[in-house]
Amino acid sequence: MIYGTETCLFCVQARDAYKGRAIFIEVDKDHEKLKEMLALSGGKRQVPVIVDGDKVTIGFLGETNVRGGIPLFGGT
């Protein structure tokens, strides 16, 4: 899952990188999902918050690894 906003460039890039492999959740439009995102991110209001199984990553660098197109992550 990718928690983010439609206006966040890094959220858009994360959605493009994951294509159909992730569900995008617009936190600006759903207060309950915003609370869910804040619980996952330790209260940080930084987007995107990417949840892959038990791994939670805050931010997206917008780059991909040339070996297999694996997204690289970092703070934004």
Provide the whole-model pTM. Answer: 0.79
Q: Provide the domain limits for residue 7.
A: 2-58
Q: In this structure, what token pair is assigned to residue 62?
A: 């917008």
pLDDT of residue 33: 96
Asked if the structure places residue 8 within a domain, the reply is yes
Asked if the structure places residue 64 within a domain, the reply is no
Asked if the structure places residue 67 within a domain, the reply is no
Span 5-47, pLDDT tens digits: 999 989 999 999 888 889 999 999 999 999 999 999 999 999 9
Asked if the structure places residue 9 within a domain, the reply is yes
Rounded (to 5) percent helix, strand, coil in the chain: 30, 20, 50
Tokens 């966040």, residue? 8
Q: What is the mean pLDDT of residues 50-76?
A: 68
Q: How confident is the model at residue 61 (pLDDT cuts 50, 70, 90)?
A: confident
Q: In this structure, what token pair is assigned to residue 55?
A: 């791994």
Asked if the structure places residue 69 within a domain, the reply is no
pLDDT of residue 67: 42
Our count of domains for the chain comes to 1
